[in-house]
Structure 1
Amino acid sequence: MNYLSVENISKSYGERVLFEDISFGINKDQKIAFVAKNGSGKTSILNIIAGKDTSDTGQVIQRKGIQISYLSQENLLDQHLTIEETIFSQGNKILDVIHQYENALKHPEEAELYQQAFELMEQHNAWDFETHYKQILSKLKLEDISQKVATLSGGQQKRLSLAIILINKPDLLILDEPTNHLDLEMIEWLEAFFAKEKITLFMVTHDRYFLERVCNEIIELDHGKLYKYRGNYSYYLEKKEERIAQEQSSVEKAKNLFKKELDWMRKQPKARTTKSKSRIDDFYVIKEKAHKRRQDHKVQLEINMERLGSKIVELHKLQKSFDSIKILDGFEYVFKKGERIGVIGKNGTGKSSFLNILTQQEPVDGGKVVVGETVKFGYYTQKGIQIKEGQKVIEVIKEFGEYIPLTKGRKISAGQLLERFLFNRKKQYDFVEKLSGGEQKRLYLCAVLIQNPNFLILDEPTNDLDVITLNVLENFLLDFPGNLIVVSHDRYFMDKIVDSLFVFRGNGVVENFPGNYSDFRAYDVSKPKIREVETKHPQKEKSKQKAKLSYNESREFSDLERDIALLEKQRTIIEDQFNNNEIPSDQIAGVSQELKSIIDAIGEKEERWLTLSMKLEGL
């Protein structure tokens, strides 16, 4: 069943043509990834499909009655609502069914009305709705549903937008980089969710393991042409390689024919017959084909970086906390020459803070960082690069360096480096403000690399980069002879680039693991885990007898369990501070009062929980 057809769409901005005459279809249960270089119009195509933008030519035809949800890079949430209010403001049809059932409960004398409402609850499986949406929020680390959207970080708001789409279960999901702002645990959960669910997807993502395990078709926009591959990422790579080889073979044949025809052209007299004129026309067609060049660049560099001495970086008993959140607790490590280390862990465990400590941009609470005299850091941060108004691409790079020295006296100029990272000569003289977000990230990478560091530190370098650029970056880093430390949620990238890991477990615990990400996951899942106990929705358990709790009481019952757990956690933290004499004497009275308030709140909530629990059991 066809959900959506894209017919001959084009898009230009002034003289800049993004794409022309693009056509494809999206059918029920397809999981399609859209692959293209940054700046070639991926987000524009998503916006056009989702109805957020219009094309210059062509049309997009939707099947009547289908529901489409779009996860964009923009934040469109109402900042005044709470997480829960945001979810309940989305017009979910199951909510209407629940409200109808709630009204029926208020009028027990109208048996027919109650029966209809009950049957609708059964039909839509609405008993499980609250459990369903809270499980999704929990997996995306949005447990406090009373929190205002305005207080959430940018990453949390993106995760809430994703949660809303998953909760509402539209017919077609259009996703722009859904794994951005997710930690590795969340990505693996989302990957499993999409792989098992019958969902129709059309998405842009740079996560190649995600592509491999979720998508069953890949559409690539390459040099203005669409190529379709019915398979996962491995199949796409294989078939793309075959396609490029065939194109190259065709070009080589055209070159040989061109030489032959050129000799013939030179020997011809000025007077032309009809037959020779036809051959001359063919000659110019062959000439165009023979001079065709692919603009992909493979990086094969022998970088002659500044020498690293015997002492590189030493970390001695590092201590670091932010308020009550402990980042490092006595962490020690001595870096050896040429080490390539990945940093992984859940969001909020201190990965970026660790990089700032390593580069001495963030002070430690205890211990010390010793940096060798020969170390020259190249630090790619998530903040990006500060661009001056009216600056051109090549000017940005030349501010940091004119060239990178190679072995045997060779060198690579700023322009050549930009070419290797897919900025052609014309693009190098574009104004930076004209670049897409992904292109600006690519430019920032070049600005870091042109400085020729011998210790490279990359904080989420793969965010917003397309798959083609990621391959270029990987090739460059594989040739890089110095030390490398990288934070990334891109598992494919980590597997290819790093040899060992720092695993941030939270609460100051950092493990040193000797292997790449796949090695770590195989090891980690083999360890025994504490089984998670899921809270069953009491409404479903009792639905076929008599509803003991109203829907609102069921929600309150579930909220009480969460609130009590949060308060218990707060009480434990404060009690530990008292036991360890960590509270200054002038603050003891205030903290004691705070502890008393928490204990009182726990008592009140436990009493209410007991009341609802007894009602649920019919006592």
Structure 2
Amino acid sequence: MNYLSAENLSKTYGDRTLFRNLTFGINRGDKVAIVGANGSGKTTLLTILAGAAPPDAGVVTHRKDITVGYLDQQPDLNDAMTVMEVVLAGESAQLDAVRAYEQALASGDHTALERAMSDMEKLEAWDYEAQIRQMLGELGIHDFDQRVSSLSGGQRKRVALARVLIQNPDLLILDEPTNHLDLEAIEYLENYLNTNNGTLLMVSHDRYFLDRVCNQIAELDGGQLYTYKGNYAYFLEKKDEREQAAASELAKDRNTFRRELEWMRRQPKARGTKAQYRIDAFDELKEKTSGKRSDGELDLNLRMTRLGTKILEVENLSKRYGNKVLLDHFTYTFKRFDRVGLIGKNGMGKTTLMNMLTGLLRPDSGKISTGGTVKFGYYTQSELDLPENQRVIDVVQDVAEVMKLANGDTVTATQLLSRFLFDRSKQYDYVAKLSGGEKRRLQLLLVLVQNPNFLILDEPTNDLDITTLNVLEDFLLSFSGCVMIVTHDRYFMDRLVEHVFVLEGEGKVRDYPGNYTDYREWRDSQKRTPEPTKQAVPKNQPAAPTPTVNTSTGKRKLSFKEQKEYETLEKEIDSLEQRKLEVVELLNGGGHHEQLTAWAREIETIDQTVAEKSDRWLELAEHV
């Protein structure tokens, strides 16, 4: 069953055509993601498909008997409403029933109240408000009476997402739904969409999210839409095949073009004396070969100031806002090549910690000592604070006219922008004309152009396209300084960090060796550890026979085998703890990437084994 169809869509901004004669369709049950480079027109296309903006040409049709929910990148919410009022203001049969019930209750009309109560029962809407509260809580919104006017941009996006999801539309259209969500909220949304039988169309750059949620990928490239049936991993495989075939075709076209060019040059200038069909074919071939382009490469191999022996020492750092404790005596000494991920729910203090490390915020107590050679590069979530009428090239030249690369070569601002995928025409565009992702890419350039050796990146993946993300990851893997990352992109964090600081609340920070997935698997294993429970005895049923106990102590005696196990466990736990200290010492001393990874894995295994053996030791100790 077709839910959405688009025929011959075209859209142009000024002298730039985003797409022309584009045809696309979505059937019931499809979960489709639109991907593509920044500025390729993904958000524009999504807006047109949602019916929120008209195309220059073409037609978009939604099936008449379906409901459509749309989440914009910048949701328009009523500032005078509370969070709960905004969500209840959505459109669905259940919400209509809730509103009708509340109106009948307020008016005192018994007939209307009976009818409303019947509708509430029929639509199972009695627990609807509880569902809304649960969904808002999972998305990180807990103050339901807060006015929308007091919400941050990220909070507004989450409230708007809850409003769309609770309506349970037949066709759900989402623009970058994972932006501004913490990692746990993303996993909640991922599970929600996986268990929901609705139809989905979205734009996202979150590769784990794409791989686990979508069954179809549509790539917008060069004004054309290439559709792949399968998840993101399948799309990568088939895209590579398509690009190889296109490269082969382009090589053939160029060889033909060179032969035809020689023919054109040899022939008399008078066009009437040449075969007109061959001239037309030559013109078409010329346009075809010149129109092909490559994505180019983003070369970030910039020179960096060498780090000294002392880097950054944090001792007993504490910070609180009112009654909320964000950090409580946090201590850590940063080492060379440290790659740290910051994990924690929104509001736990991740940005606060980064602001204190970079000197933008003072702690309540504690000491931060920075080495003399450290040069921070701080990439923040805040929007680019530049005049909208300033050209891109001028923005960069205000910071540096030329830059030195690691190999000693120099590049001009123009060349550097080209390496950041800004072509010559885009360099002379005004900042106001840039897409969200292009502004982010420019902001990243301005951070790196200052040659930092300690990078602190607060959500660097927001609005960046997948091509840019891949190259940024490659750069950070070869970066010889320290890196601290906050990101909701689990793939990005898994690939780059070697241990994580987990902000657990009440000021506690856990330093866990491993990446995000390692930590989650460990945490989930802790949750699965069974706790001893007392089994209820049904009424009128005799209790189970009581085990034999030592009458003098009231405890069951350990068997000979259990006694030996108990004594052995003590020795094994001591041995494991000693080995952990040795490995931690090795880890602190540094080494090759492979060694560091192996040691971190060993520590994780030791922790899991100690936890299991300790649980068994405690169980046996009750009967000693």
TM-score, normalised to structure 2's length? 0.78
Match in the other structure for 2:85: 85
1:75 deviates by: 3.4
Superposition pairs of residues 236-275 of structure 1, within 5 angstroms? 236-262=235-261
Measure the CA separation in 2 of the matches of 1:184 and 1:269.
68
1:529 deviates by: 6.3
CA contact (8 A) 1:104 1:117 kept: no
1:472 deviates by: 3.1
CA contact (8 A) 1:229 1:236 kept: yes
In structure 2, relative to structure 1, the CA distance for the partners of 1:450 and 1:262 (3 Å cut) is: same
Superposition pairs of residues 426-575 of structure 1, within 5 angstroms? 426-528=425-527
Measure the CA separation in 2 of the matches of 1:355 and 1:100.
48
For residue 20 of structure 1, give the secondary structure of its aligned residue in structure 2: strand
Opposite residue 163 of structure 1, the aligned amino acid is A
CA contact (8 A) 2:402 2:410 kept: yes
Measure the CA separation in 2 of the matches of 1:20 and 1:69.
26
Measure the CA separation in 2 of the matches of 1:47 and 1:226.
16
Moved more, 124-133 or 305-314: 124-133
Moved more, 445-454 or 42-51: 42-51
Opposite residue 231 of structure 1, the aligned amino acid is G
- 2:9 counterpart of 1:14: no
Match in the other structure for 2:311: 312
Moved more, 149-158 or 317-326: 149-158
CA contact (8 A) 1:39 1:438 kept: yes
The superposition leaves residues 226-254 of structure 1 with CA deviations (integer Å, 9 ceiling, x where unpaired) of 10011111111111111111111112223
In structure 2, relative to structure 1, the CA distance for the partners of 1:53 and 1:292 (3 Å cut) is: closer
Opposite residue 46 of structure 1, the aligned amino acid is L
CA contact (8 A) 1:421 1:472 kept: no
In structure 2, relative to structure 1, the CA distance for the partners of 1:51 and 1:520 (3 Å cut) is: same
Measure the CA separation in 1 of the matches of 2:504 and 2:84.
29
Measure the CA separation in 2 of the matches of 1:286 and 1:108.
76
In structure 2, relative to structure 1, the CA distance for the partners of 1:288 and 1:157 (3 Å cut) is: closer
1:46 deviates by: 2.2
Match in the other structure for 2:399: 400
1:203 deviates by: 0.9
In structure 2, relative to structure 1, the CA distance for the partners of 1:276 and 1:92 (3 Å cut) is: closer
Moved more, 117-126 or 388-397: 117-126
Percent sequence identity is 51
Measure the CA separation in 2 of the matches of 1:104 and 1:368.
59
CA contact (8 A) 1:314 1:371 kept: yes
Measure the CA separation in 2 of the matches of 1:269 and 1:18.
40
Consecutive unaligned residues in structure 1, runs of 5 or more = 532-619
Superposition pairs of residues 329-408 of structure 1, within 5 angstroms? 329-408=328-407
Measure the CA separation in 2 of the matches of 1:307 and 1:99.
64
CA contact (8 A) 1:300 1:475 kept: no
Measure the CA separation in 2 of the matches of 1:107 and 1:385.
54
CA contact (8 A) 1:441 1:464 kept: yes
CA contact (8 A) 1:301 1:479 kept: no
TM-score, normalised to structure 1's length? 0.79
Opposite residue 33 of structure 2, the aligned amino acid is A
For residue 398 of structure 2, give the secondary structure of its aligned residue in structure 1: helix
- 2:18 counterpart of 1:5: no
In structure 2, relative to structure 1, the CA distance for the partners of 1:96 and 1:57 (3 Å cut) is: closer
1:498 deviates by: 2.0
Match in the other structure for 2:125: 126
Measure the CA separation in 2 of the matches of 1:413 and 1:381.
25
For residue 426 of structure 1, give the secondary structure of its aligned residue in structure 2: helix
1:443 deviates by: 0.8
Match in the other structure for 2:206: 207
Match in the other structure for 1:61: 61
The superposition leaves residues 2-42 of structure 1 with CA deviations (integer Å, 9 ceiling, x where unpaired) of 11211112222332322222220122111111112222222
Match in the other structure for 2:559: none
Measure the CA separation in 2 of the matches of 1:48 and 1:272.
45
Consecutive unaligned residues in structure 2, runs of 5 or more = 531-624
Opposite residue 527 of structure 2, the aligned amino acid is P
- 2:47 counterpart of 1:47: yes
CA contact (8 A) 1:393 1:427 kept: yes
Match in the other structure for 1:187: 186
For residue 310 of structure 2, give the secondary structure of its aligned residue in structure 1: coil
CA contact (8 A) 1:218 1:236 kept: yes
Measure the CA separation in 2 of the matches of 1:391 and 1:497.
34
Match in the other structure for 2:552: none
Match in the other structure for 2:327: 328
- 2:231 counterpart of 1:232: yes
Measure the CA separation in 2 of the matches of 1:470 and 1:292.
26
CA contact (8 A) 1:379 1:457 kept: yes
For residue 527 of structure 2, give the secondary structure of its aligned residue in structure 1: coil
Measure the CA separation in 1 of the matches of 2:431 and 2:490.
30
